[in-house]
Amino acid sequence: MHAIPQHDALLQSGNFLPDKWVQSVSPALYVPGCVGNTATCTGSNRSAKNPLTGELLGANTALAIGTLVPNFRRGEERPVPVREEIADTTYLFPKLNVGPRFGTAYDLLGNQHVVLRGSLGLYFDRPRGGNAQALVGNTFVSILQTLRYSQLQSLSGLATQSPAQLTAYQYESKLPTSL
């Protein structure tokens, strides 16, 4: 069998490679904090806190916990795009595989009325097609931003941006196999 991974022909996708991830260049996310540094956080006392500066967003900002700290970039928070350190297909699997098949038959009574048959084979399949399409979303070409506590007249309020969705696929993958 000869096959290559399905991939984005425009080379706009990327794959997350855990061995290349560095926490020091990852995006900063708001963490929980308490207004007035009280021992317990409840209701409006709970606030989103910038983990780098310790600054609290203020009352009623708990919805921002786990979202990106705006206007802060430590580095390039993205998976490894194609054309840099990885193959155009964003992952690899063997292009050529040997799938042996064996079969046998034995006539139990010698009159071909009762024949015992058996076979054994190694079969391969392509990884599901959705893998290639899912990796296209890793390019961070879109942003999901939410605006809360606002009116259309002003469009000001608590603006939060969620971290981008990240899909990873094992870079040196094996073909799905059944025996």
Q: 88-122, pLDDT tens digit by residue?
A: 777 787 777 888 999 999 999 989 899 999 999 99
- In sequence order, what are the beta bridge partners of 148? 158
pLDDT confidence tier of residue 57, bands split at 50, 70 and 90: confident
Please state, in angstroms and rounded to a whole number, the distance separating the CA atoms of residues 22 and 15. Answer: 15
Comparison of pLDDT for 38 and 68, the residue scoring more: 68
What pLDDT, on the 0 to 100 scale, is given for residue 3? Answer: 64
pLDDT confidence tier of residue 74, bands split at 50, 70 and 90: very low
| pLDDT surpassing 60 at residue 73 | no
Please state, in angstroms and rounded to a whole number, the distance separating the CA atoms of residues 1 and 3. Answer: 7
| pLDDT surpassing 50 at residue 64 | yes
Q: Of 21, 65, 36, 58, which is closest to residue 163 (Cα–Cα)?
A: 65
**What average pLDDT does this structure show over 28-40?**
81
Please state, in angstroms and rounded to a whole number, the distance separating the CA atoms of residues 102 and 99. Answer: 10
Model's pTM, two decimal places? 0.58
- In sequence order, what are the beta bridge partners of 34? 46
What pLDDT, on the 0 to 100 scale, is given for residue 156? Answer: 77
Q: Which residues contact 81 (CB under 8 A, 6 or more apart)?
A: 13, 14, 139
What pLDDT, on the 0 to 100 scale, is given for residue 130? Answer: 63
Please state, in angstroms and rounded to a whole number, the distance separating the CA atoms of residues 55 and 47. Answer: 10
Percentage of the residues of the chain whose pLDDT score is greater than 90: 12
The two three-digit tokens of residue 160, written as one number: 């939060």
